[in-house]
Amino acid sequence: MSTPRNDVPRNNDLPDRDGGPRLNPAPKQRATRPSTRGGSKPRRGAPVAGTRPNRAGSVARVRQAPVPEPQRISRYRRWFGTLHPSLQLIGLQLWMPLFFIVGFCLCYVFAFHAPHPHDVPVGVVGGDPTLSAAVQKALPGEFVFRTYDSLAQAKRDVLAGTIAVAYDPSTNEVFKATAHQFQVASLVPVTLSTVLTGIGVAAPTVTELAPLPAYDEYGTVSMYVMLAWCIGGYMVAMFIGIMGGPLRHRTRMAVIVVGGLVISLITNTLAGPVVGAIHGHWIELVLIAWGWIVAIGLAVNGLSYFAGRFIAAPAMICFVFLSMPSSGGAYPKWFMPEPFAWLNNVVVGSSMVDMIKHQIYGVGPSYARGLITMACYAAAGLVLMYFGKMWWEHRRIRAIVSGRTTMFQDAQTANREFLGRQRDAELERHGLTSTETGTLSVLRDDGWEDERANGDVFMGGRDGLEIEATPTGRVPVVRNTDRSGPPQRPGGAATAPRTRTGPRADGSMTPGRADASARSADGAARPGGAPRPDGSAEHPHGRHADR
């Protein structure tokens, strides 16, 4: 039978302040049955390693997992491990600025360096073959004409964003909706007017169906609000994926839901009442933003199980680098090159911008498209979470069993050990040392000051601005041998402050007392101990033993 754990003596760093020997009482024996760990036989009814009971009650053999092969460390990884731990961590994070550079160049610079119209839909009431032929000859491939029988239907499609503008040849009038797309409303009517005047038709009259308000002159508010929602949603889930791997699904989802509500409240309050970029619609926008942030957070959370600490890369690709140019907030999809024009149908940015414009200005498609896209991203995130959790746990157990580590884990371990050694060295410069329990103890009394800071005119020495030693030196403690009264301090006051103890002559870590020689001669003068055979008293040695 193994020894009960209560019989093991405990290490106690607390001092004995009464001056006498402190004897630990006998440990209380365990009332429960001790464990059989280390014993020769297991307890009755306990399963033996390598077996498990089946449904019939008999014991079936369990197949043992094969021993994994040792991890192979490449030459580059061995060389990288010789670098400074902090330099290793910095080097392993340099992929992020490189990723930003590549992402901005391939997405933002490529998409916005030369926006050019292509296949822009234009509605013509009743049809006009002359105009269509003239535009196709002057600007081939830039416009696509659709024939409408009703002017009212053409206006509705302009407000819904299905067509760019509508032209009525009977009244020579062009209808546009600046609130839906500022660039389209600015460029397309001018282009059509140039073509019409070229074929001998007077310049058409331009009628505004949905003007932009003064606080959103260029129609960019919806784009930047959408970007704030996307960044907030993916960053919450990104940090959950990086630092919350063992968390349960319910905990992760609770953080995403609560964090999404907080981000929605903050962004809409700043964009609306504080900045004044949006007037009204605060409650509606808070609910829309909350739903989108939760959907984005669930999708990124599901991806985090597969991407690990590199989750920032797929998250920013999906919800920033691709979503921003394809959203239609800066330029419409008819001005964007491929694949951004096609991505307008699937990215979250386009649906978010359409929902914001529909709520604020009453233009763009209805909420149905946005709600469907939101539900699809949330459902995809839930599916990824379900399968990703199992895959992540499988990888984690495999890494634990095989003892495999990554370069980032090795760098973190080396940096933690380096910081521990640096902390101990810094404490030692100041005369302190750290114990196993985390407490601090004094190493030595003299020469404890850091040689790098011996005192100056600004900071002074350890005892004040004057760094010279006091002329009196250390004042010894004088005790009264008369047992009738308390021991007297220098000056006759029993409540005088204690002096600092001096170092022991034997070089031990326990400081000695100034009156140690006088007290050792008389055993009766020692509190709490009987005299030894040689006349000295039995007394424990320690820093606080004679206080």
Mapped to the 3 state alphabet, what secondary structure does 48-67 carry? CCCEEECCCCCEEECCCCCC
- 129 touches 170 (CB < 8 A): no
Divide the 547 residues of the chain into consecutive groups of 10 and give the mean pLDDT of each group: 45 47 51 48 55 60 68 88 91 91 92 90 88 88 91 94 92 93 91 90 92 91 93 91 85 94 95 92 95 95 91 91 90 90 92 94 92 95 93 87 87 91 85 74 56 50 47 48 49 44 46 44 44 48 44
Residues whose CB is less than 8 angstroms from the CB of residue 457 and which lie 6 or more positions away in sequence, other chains included: 465
φ, ψ at 137 (rounded to 5°): -75, -40
What letter would DSSP give residue 444?
-
Structure confidence at residue 513 (pLDDT): 45
CA distance 93 to 84: 15
Structure confidence at residue 402 (pLDDT): 83
Residues whose CB is less than 8 angstroms from the CB of residue 405 and which lie 6 or more positions away in sequence, other chains included: 71, 399, 413
φ, ψ at 435 (rounded to 5°): -95, 175
Structure confidence at residue 252 (pLDDT): 92
Structure confidence at residue 73 (pLDDT): 87
Instruction: Find out whether the peptide bond into 339 is cis, omega within 30 degrees of 0.
Output: yes
Residue 165, CA atoms < 13 Å, CB-side half-sphere: 25
Structure confidence at residue 270 (pLDDT): 95
Residues whose CB is less than 8 angstroms from the CB of residue 366 and which lie 6 or more positions away in sequence, other chains included: 358
**254, amino acid identity:** A
Structure confidence at residue 342 (pLDDT): 92
CA distance 29 to 27: 6
